[in-house]
Amino acid sequence: MFTNSVIKLLVVVLVLRQCVAYFNVDKQEECFCQLSGNIDECTCNIDTVDHFNNIKVYPRLKSLLLKDYFRFYKVNLKRPCPFWVDDSKCAMRDCHVKPCPPEEIPEGLKGNSHQKVVPVGPHPSDKYSKQQNEGCAAHHNELDYLNKTISEKLQKDMQLWEAYDDALDNFCDIDNNDENAEYVDLLLNPERYTGYSGESARRIWKSIYLENCFRPKKSFSFNPYIQSNKLNELCLEERVFYRSISGLHASINVHLCSNYLLSKNNGFGGLGKPEAKWGPNLEEFQKRFSPENTNGEGPNWLRNLYFIYLVELRALAKAAPYLEKEGYYTGDEQNDWDTRMAMKDLLKVIKLFPDHFDETTMFRNSEQARKLKYEFKQHFRNITRIMDCVGCDKCRLWGKLQTQGLGTALKILFSGQFDGVEGKRTLDAHNKKEFQLQRNEIVSLVNAFGRLSNSLYKIDDFRQMLSMR
């Protein structure tokens, strides 16, 4: 929840930014990150999203993500790369992730006390008396009774069947239930530049773009990035997939540029040192996004960042009735209440946004659409597995969290189980279960959207830095 003074302060900051922009119009026109116009595949424009995010969403998310429920993320960082043998582990201090000691984890997150308990034995609503039950048992010799015993092997098989059914709705390979999964404090392990680069890092993105993104069939290129003028050769669903991955990549790069190591020798000398300072690096931002350094594609990658923002924004709006009923349980009653109120406040703002991404135009009922949806899901699941090939633990942590967050958003949009507009859980012929999200899915969804929100806010900072030069 926000006080009036905080809102007023944020409005003043925005006005000052606009004043600076006004007196630097000529410079802004030359700025590659001064984007404008409609966002591809969507109906709203960039200026609308900037104002909505920077004034209404970003400050709320920044406060919400400090809460214990969203601060602790359970993840397995020890899974081997499933696609290739890779021994390029980062040995620098800033790549390392330190898991939480058990005593620092909120009590409510250690067990399952926040989950519904299924009663064992006679249900209180049973209407039969002891005599009636004994009377039924007397007929066992005359009628074939219902045998409720299940062999141990069949029970294990049924667990596999249930896991398979659950996986049908998931766009990512969830590992938080693995025996090697540990809680990580996201506030103590911020996403920032760690020095992880080189062939190992390039191989990750090449594998994602060249092997797991849909690509134009009439043209082949070893360049992992699809030129913007070639995207129209893809169908809508394929373009949405590519723009989402490109936007996620752009967001990660913005994070690295905005939280870069600032050292006197402008090199690696300060990495790993406790006294190292971090902050925005304008030269690195220009290197990664200026048209001169990206064959003209950098501004388009930034536009894709706005696109994925709208995709995840829509997922939160659609799942709002479900998320508003979540308890956000950690065991701290006051903190849990604050989290619920802050979440409801954020969702209220999100639901009022008029131009959400429209997922109903995708995967129209047809055999080809069902096949495409299956490929869409399998491609994205592969990308979540590729995160286990990242050689830097901190990069792997944030890569896994943000891909799981996007995967959760896609699950909400395309699982076919949830009608967020009317606030009802619905069933169709294929999906027989009620829509539900695990705690880790909620944590990753909100944190991933928080990363996108932070990126848009930081882009505005870089605009001001460029206009002041």
Query: Do 41 and 243 meet the contact criterion of CB atoms below 8 Å apart?
Result: yes
Beta bridge partners of 75: 182
Q: Is 192 a known ligand-binding residue?
A: yes
Q: Is 161 a known ligand-binding residue?
A: no
Considering 31, 100, 389, 392, which one is annotated as catalytic?
Answer: 392
Q: Is 246 a known ligand-binding residue?
A: yes
Beta bridge partners of 261: 278
Considering 31, 100, 213, 395, which one is annotated as catalytic?
Answer: 395
Q: Is 395 an active-site residue?
A: yes
* 16 token code pair: 């000052």
Cα atoms in the Cβ-side hemisphere of radius 13 Å centred on 10 = 18
Q: Is 288 a known ligand-binding residue?
A: yes
Query: Do 69 and 330 meet the contact criterion of CB atoms below 8 Å apart?
Result: yes
Q: Is 44 an active-site residue?
A: no
Query: Do 17 and 460 meet the contact criterion of CB atoms below 8 Å apart?
Result: yes
Q: Is 139 a known ligand-binding residue?
A: no
The contacts of residue 40 (CB under 8 Å, 6+ apart) are 239, 243, 303, 304, 307
Q: Is 123 a known ligand-binding residue?
A: no
Which residues belong to the active site? 392, 395
List residues forming the annotated binding site: 192, 194, 205, 246, 249, 288
List residues forming the annotated binding site for FAD: 192, 194, 205, 246, 249, 288
